[in-house]
Amino acid sequence: MRNLKHYQGDTFDFFRDIVQKKREEALKSRMGILIDDIKLCFQDYKSLFDDNRLTSLSCRGYSNQEKADLLSLYRYRLKIFQDLKINLTTN
């Protein structure tokens, strides 16, 4: 396995940047409804990561449209993800 660095920036801000870059207003609107819950997920992850207890992380269990919307945010070819890969894999 590669020796990856962890992301130094604010991960929730990174997530919001991805949502903002989307062109579909309906998607942005649906994400706006979920934003408070998603922020809690990021806070939980950070807390458990900092304490080296990621095995205690629980699944939020998004389904249907929410799950589809969250999955649609990820496109590996997007520049933001390419920049993230470079940031995490280079010294």
Per-residue confidence (pLDDT) for residue 1, from 0 to 100: 46
Please name the residues in contact with 30: beta carbons below 8 A apart, sequence gap of 6 or more: 65, 66, 69
**What's the pTM?**
0.84
Taking the C-alpha atoms of residue 69 and residue 24, their distance in angstroms, rounded to an integer, is: 11
Domain boundaries, the chain: 11-89
Look at residue 91 in the predicted model and tell me its pLDDT.
Answer: 74
Instruction: Supply the Cα-derived Rg of the chain in whole angstroms.
Output: 14
Mean pLDDT of the chain: 92
Distance CA 64, CA 67 (A): 5
pLDDT in tens, 44-84: 999 999 999 999 999 988 999 999 999 999 998 999 999 99
pLDDT higher at 4 or 17: 17
